[in-house]
Structure 1
Amino acid sequence: MDLDEKDHFASLAKAVADNRDQTAFATLFDYFAPRLKSWLVKRSMKPDEAEELVQEVMAVLWHRAHLYDPSQSSLSTWLYRIARNRRIDKERRAKHRQLEISEDWFCLAEVPTADILLERAESDARVRAALEKIPDEQMQLVRAAFFLGQTHSEIASSTGIPLGTVKSRIRLAFERLRKALEEPASLT
């Protein structure tokens, strides 16, 4: 852009600011809109979003041309700065919306009532007591299967116990656990 073109754009912007000159605005729009759109698309904006943002930038020119000061910068610099700032604002709003969409992780879980907490504590105590009644040889296999995530074959291989024995000990442990949990809770 040469100096004459720079002065020409500044005079057109002044005409828009002072007289709401539609012809001057149309000239500026025709020149800057496609360039701004291209610039925004090169910065990873989708073409339709870039076009929408260019409309906003050109609306700023129409409504606030009086804020443009040719002694501070060229009109193109002023418009590109507005486009850059609007693009950044748009990205920030998009990130904020994403947070709002996944806002569930901000919410606290529903606080259980005292009677539910008491029931859970009693249930936990019953399960712990039932687990203590399981013989150690069975409990080791249950731990390997359910707390360490090992398959029955892996347990057999690591312990040297036959696969059928591993399966039957785990089954017996769960049978004991089920019977212990089916017994009525003692009222001590």
Structure 2
Amino acid sequence: MPTSEELCELLRSVAVAGDRQAFAVLFRHFAPRVKSYLMRGGSTEGLAEELAQETMVSVWRKAAMFDPAQAGVSTWIFTIARNLRIDHFRRQGAAAVVFEDEAGEELPDTAPALDEQLRASRRELGVREALKQLSAEQAQVLHLSFYEEQPHARIAHDLGIPLGTVKSRVRLAVHHLRRLLDELEP
């Protein structure tokens, strides 16, 4: 699994030189993760696959727009995927879409309703605001653990801190986030 610095360098190679090999590494790393993320968010497997492909095409086209001072590569790519999913559902509007399976039977659309999408957006905004209230150390280990999916042992090695410290920071950060988010709930 590439480190965040390696991912940043790969993306820079795509942006500067149109490096297809660097993009292939990014694609192999992110496409399955983006698809999984989209499916966990309520997208069907087919839609998740389509949006994951579209996300990676956007990464290729917009690589020069990436600013490592604003976000990590993972955060940037998952934000693209999230925005594409939202755009997809906005284009669908409030009307329910009916699909047909191979036998011609109608299947109801399982996409989240607009009110659920709105709740999810508000919840996401709440999480972002809560993350800003964490200490820098807690936010860093959460980002590495959850967004970059790095194992705790790797985080400990990369940051030069004991494994127990990483686990404690994650546990305390998650507890702090829960408390902050509970305060936001009506």
TM-score by length of 2: 0.50
Relative to its length, the structure with more helix (as a share) is: 1
Q: Which has the larger radius of gyration?
A: 1
TM-score by length of 1: 0.49
